[in-house]
Amino acid sequence: MTAAAATRDRAGPALAGLLVVTGVTHFVVPHFYDAVVPAVLPGGPRVWVLASGGAELACAALIANRRTRGLGATLAMVLFVVVFPANVKMAIDWSHQGPVKAAIGLLRLPLQLPLAYWALRVRRRAIASPA
């Protein structure tokens, strides 16, 4: 196996691991995420925080299984796009809370792009070499 192939083989499990960590934090410290849920969404923020955390954990489980990795990566890519408005809200809200928080809020915005690309790469690899 080439070094590039070994890296691609680790990309799926690494993405699953990231989604497990972020998904669990939605349940462990939901108050952190409550504040970034856009007010235009129906229901309370906690519902959306728990739902998105559950979605991240479901994507992680699908990606962890080689047979469902392509589906999980596709859903993760969609999730990264769907949660972007929360990152925009965070950037706006944090823009007036000091330079460090303002910078964190702004830097999170472009982060969704490499995450979506990572999921796309995992999806393509899963389709190219099914379990």
Q: How far is CA 39 from the centre of its chain?
A: 20
At residue 63, the pLDDT reads 97
In the predicted model, residues of the chain with pLDDT beneath 50 are: 1
**Measuring CA to CA, which residue among 47, 70, 73 is closest to residue 59?**
73
Distance between start and end Cα atoms, the chain: 16
What is the distance between the alpha carbons of residues 23 and 25, in angstroms, rounded to a whole number? 5
What is the distance between the alpha carbons of residues 5 and 106, in angstroms, rounded to a whole number? 34
What is the distance between the alpha carbons of residues 16 and 50, in angstroms, rounded to a whole number? 18
Residue type, position 48, single letter: W
What is the distance between the alpha carbons of residues 124 and 93, in angstroms, rounded to a whole number? 36
**Measuring CA to CA, which residue among 125, 116, 113, 127 is closest to residue 12?**
125
At residue 129, the pLDDT reads 84
At residue 85, the pLDDT reads 87
At residue 116, the pLDDT reads 95
Token readout for 124 is: 């393509």
At residue 3, the pLDDT reads 56
